[in-house]
């Protein structure tokens, strides 16, 4: 059966002749007529053909990926053509939005030109589940009008997404050159590693808070996401990556650069302590608040506990409605933590870090 179809298992037998002994095994070399088949429903045997005719639904439900496949097969077989330009402009724009995708990962060429990019393929295995397909650039070769409409939809209707802190700092100046032709940089999505979020939002935890010059204010969130730098920014999404295994934690990745007798000697995933993803994300958001609270809509997504997601989404929503949340005491508590307190040990019912952790395995409700 294909995914998307409803399935049901029933017991079947058949009689080769009236009055014969029912059989439950089949000779693959022989043809069994449907009229000879019987099916057991609610403890009673009945003719298979009669049962089929009485079913309330006899059609296949092609949904999801199967639906797309069937639709493509239908278009390929009926000989008809889909005349895009016969559609009203409103519907054409909907087609462009689907073809270009929700997220655009813009790229900067060596000559300083910005393009729509090719999606994003993460170089790390643990983020392969988060890969994003590139926009359908074939639309740009259909005609001049389609190219103009699709390009405008991509730049203005999709989120400008950034998977690395450094790429964001380089690409944004190039995107500004597209103004006033396109209204870009109104919707942005951050998809950084956890360690990059710590540096980007200048999270004051050990060992980084004790290293002079580690935080670069010119490339930090306070500068990059400021009203001065991005005056048209209306929406910001902060997406957290999977805490698949200990080697992805900021403390493990930094152990060779900032050795410490408490956690600097870990050389493999099995040696390192399980870092609490929930606590780390909460620290990051606490420091992110001051840098993003001027943006009209801020939301968190990705691998984040439901309780934290609701907490921070509610915090930003309350501020949009005029209710300010003072978290200065929380920041002081985080800053007071010593090197001996690092990394934050996981005490969740289901440990935050497990190998091959996918969105269907992450314990969002813990």
- pLDDT tens-digit series, residues 76-97: 888 777 788 999 999 999 999 9
| Mean model confidence pLDDT for the chain | 81
Q: For the residues 351-355, what does the mean pLDDT come to?
A: 67
Q: How far apart are CA 248 and CA 251, in angstroms?
A: 8
Higher per-residue pLDDT: 36 or 71:
71
pLDDT digits (tens, 9 = 90+) for 318-350: 988 888 888 999 999 999 998 888 888 888 877
Count of beta carbons in the 10 Å neighbourhood of residue 209: 16
Q: How far apart are CA 121 and CA 167, in angstroms?
A: 14
Give the model's confidence band at 298: pLDDT under 50 very low, under 70 low, under 90 confident, else very high. Answer: very high
DSSP code, position 166:
H
Q: Output the furthest CA–CA distance in the chain (Å, rounded).
A: 93
> Looking at the predicted structure, is the pLDDT value of residue 315 above 90?
yes
> 262-276: b or e for each residue (b if 16 or more CB lie within 10 Å)?
ebbebeeeeebbbbb
Give the model's confidence band at 66: pLDDT under 50 very low, under 70 low, under 90 confident, else very high. Answer: confident
CB 110 within 8 A of CB 151: no
* Structural domain spans, the chain: 1-80, 87-341
Residue 297's closest CA among 234, 240, 238? 234
> Looking at the predicted structure, is the pLDDT value of residue 18 above 70?
no
CB 365 within 8 A of CB 306: yes
Q: For the residues 114-142, what does the mean pLDDT come to?
A: 79
> Looking at the predicted structure, is the pLDDT value of residue 134 above 80?
yes
User: Cα dihedral sign for 190, 193, 196, 198?
Assistant: positive
Close Cβ partners of 242 (under 8 Å, ≥ 6 residues apart):
126, 127, 129, 130, 248, 303, 357, 358, 359, 362
Alpha helices in 7-88 (DSSP H): 48-54, 64-78
> 322-338: b or e for each residue (b if 16 or more CB lie within 10 Å)?
eeeeeeeeebeebeeee
Q: How far apart are CA 158 and CA 187, in angstroms?
A: 7
| Location of structure tokens 């995708």 | 101
> Looking at the predicted structure, is the pLDDT value of residue 245 above 80?
no
3-state secondary structure 258-285: CCCCCCCCCCCCCCCCCECHHHHHHHHH
Give the model's confidence band at 52: pLDDT under 50 very low, under 70 low, under 90 confident, else very high. Answer: confident
Rg (CA), the chain: 28
Give the model's confidence band at 2: pLDDT under 50 very low, under 70 low, under 90 confident, else very high. Answer: very low
Alpha helices in 158-253 (DSSP H): 165-176, 194-200, 221-224, 250-253
Looking at residue 282, what is its pLDDT?
95
pLDDT digits (tens, 9 = 90+) for 160-187: 999 888 888 889 988 988 878 888 999 9
Burial of 229 from C-beta contacts in 10 A (0-12 / 13-18 / 19+): middle
Looking at residue 3, what is its pLDDT?
45
Higher per-residue pLDDT: 363 or 278:
278
Looking at residue 11, what is its pLDDT?
75
H/E element, 330: helix 328-335
pLDDT digits (tens, 9 = 90+) for 198-223: 999 999 998 888 777 788 888 899 99
How remote is the C-alpha of 213 from its chain's centroid? 33
Percentage of the chain beyond pLDDT 90 is 33
> Looking at the predicted structure, is the pLDDT value of residue 264 above 60?
no
| Location of structure tokens 């278009």 | 75
H/E element, 309: helix 306-320
Q: For the residues 349-362, what does the mean pLDDT come to?
A: 64
Q: Which residues pair with 13 in a beta bridge?
A: 38
Q: For the residues 107-132, what does the mean pLDDT come to?
A: 77
Looking at residue 290, what is its pLDDT?
92
Alpha helices in 207-302 (DSSP H): 221-224, 250-253, 277-292
């Amino acid at each position: 059966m294909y995914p998307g179809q409803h399935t049901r298992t029933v017991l079947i037998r058949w009689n080769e002749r009236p009055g014969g002994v029912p059989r439950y095994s089949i000779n693959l070399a022989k043809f069994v007529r449907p009229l000879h088949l019987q099916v057991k429903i609610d403890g009673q045997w009945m003719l298979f053909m009669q049962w089929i005719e009485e079913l309330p639904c006899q059609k296949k439900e092609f949904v999801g990926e199967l639906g797309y496949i069937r639709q493509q097969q239908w278009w390929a077989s009926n000989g008809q053509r889909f005349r895009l330009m016969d559609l009203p402009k409103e519907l054409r724009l909907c087609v462009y939005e689907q073809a270009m995708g929700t997220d655009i990962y813009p790229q900067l060429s060596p000559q300083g030109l910005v393009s729509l990019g090719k999606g994003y393929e993460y170089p790390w295995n643990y983020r392969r589940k988060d890969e994003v397909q590139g926009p359908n650039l074939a639309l740009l070769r259909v005609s001049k009008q389609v190219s103009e409409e699709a390009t405008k939809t991509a730049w203005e209707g999709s989120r400008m997404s950034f998977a690395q802190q450094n790429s964001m700092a380089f690409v944004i100046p190039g995107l500004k050159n597209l103004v006033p032709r396109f209204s870009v940089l109104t919707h942005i999505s951050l998809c950084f590693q956890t360690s990059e979020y710590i540096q980007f939002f200048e999270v004051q935890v050990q060992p980084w808070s004790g290293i002079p010059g580690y935080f670069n204010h010119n490339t930090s969130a306070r500068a990059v996401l400021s009203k001065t730098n991005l005056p048209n920014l209306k929406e910001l999404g902060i997406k957290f990556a999977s805490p698949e295994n200990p080697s992805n934690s900021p403390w493990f990745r930094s152990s060779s650069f900032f050795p410490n007798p408490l956690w600097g000697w870990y050389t493999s995933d099995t040696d390192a302590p399980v870092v609490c993803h929930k606590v780390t994300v909460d620290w990051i958001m606490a420091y992110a608040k001051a840098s993003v609270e001027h943006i009209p809509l801020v939301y968190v997504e990705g691998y984040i506990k439901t309780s934290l997601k609701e907490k921070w989404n509610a915090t930003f929503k309350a501020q949009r409605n005029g209710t300010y949340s003072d978290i200065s005491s929380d920041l002081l508590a985080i800053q007071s933590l010593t090197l001996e307190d690092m990394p934050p040990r996981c005490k969740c019912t289901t440990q935050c870090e497990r190998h091959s952790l996918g969105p269907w395995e992450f314990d969002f409700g813990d």
